[in-house]
Homo-oligomer: A and B are copies of this chain.
Amino acid sequence: MTGEVPKEDGGAVSLEDLRQKMVDFVKERDWEKYHSPRNLLLALVGEVGELSECFQWKGEVPKGLPDWKDEEKQHLGEELSDVLLYLVQLSHYCGIDLGKAALRKVHLNAIKHPVNRYIKSIPEEENKKSDDVDDDDDSKITNQDNNNGNGMTENLQN
């Protein structure tokens, strides 16, 4: 049923490759009329829901998913991909260069969270406290235990 899976090396896949493939896919089927930004956003939310369903009754799962069957991992890969493909399309139809934006965001994250704030030799409790002080402008974090893990959730623009 699935036919031949492409032989290309997934690791080298660029966001531009995927964007071009999806734009062509949509055009060939005359689906552009459906691909408004908010339609695509809701479709993405739908896929995030399906991604969550892969994990919903499992309790905590260890990294690498050692206990998952091959078919479960394949299904998970499909749901992760669905989210990615809608994200690429949403960016495209919003006129956002996702690759460029992502590189910029990684850069901003690194400025916001300098490595030396998280030196391993500092006891964790103390480390967290200094983190709280620095981040006191970010109301969403103040109620959380594990601020250190929160690097990418903050709005680094401000």
Q: Is the CB of A53 within 8 A of B140?
A: yes
Q: Which residues of B contact A143 (CB under 8 A)?
A: 54, 69, 71-72, 75
Q: Is the CB of A61 within 8 A of B43?
A: no
Residue of chain B at shortest CB distance from A31: B149
Closest chain-B Cβ to A15's Cβ sits at a distance in Å of 6
Of the candidates A29, A36, A113, the one having the most CB atoms from chain B within 10 angstroms of its own CB is A29
Interface residues of A in 1-46 (CB under 8 A from B): 1-6, 8-16, 18, 21-22, 25-26, 28-31, 33-39, 41-46
Q: Is the CB of A48 within 8 A of B49?
A: yes
Instruction: State whether A146 and B34 are in contact (beta carbons under 8 Å apart), knowing that A14-B11, A73-B95 are contacts in the complex.
Output: yes
Closest chain-B Cβ to A40's Cβ sits at a distance in Å of 8
Query: Size of chain A's interface in residues, with CB distance under 8 A?
Result: 118
Q: Is the CB of B96 within 8 A of A1?
A: no
Residue of chain B at shortest CB distance from A94: B65
A12 to B116, CA, bound (A): 31
Q: Is the CB of A30 within 8 A of B96?
A: no
Interface string of A55-77 (1 = CB under 8 A from B): 11111111111000101111111
Interface string of A74-87 (1 = CB under 8 A from B): 11111011111111
Q: Is the CB of A18 within 8 A of B52?
A: no
Q: Which residues of B contact A47 (CB under 8 A)?
A: 49, 152-153
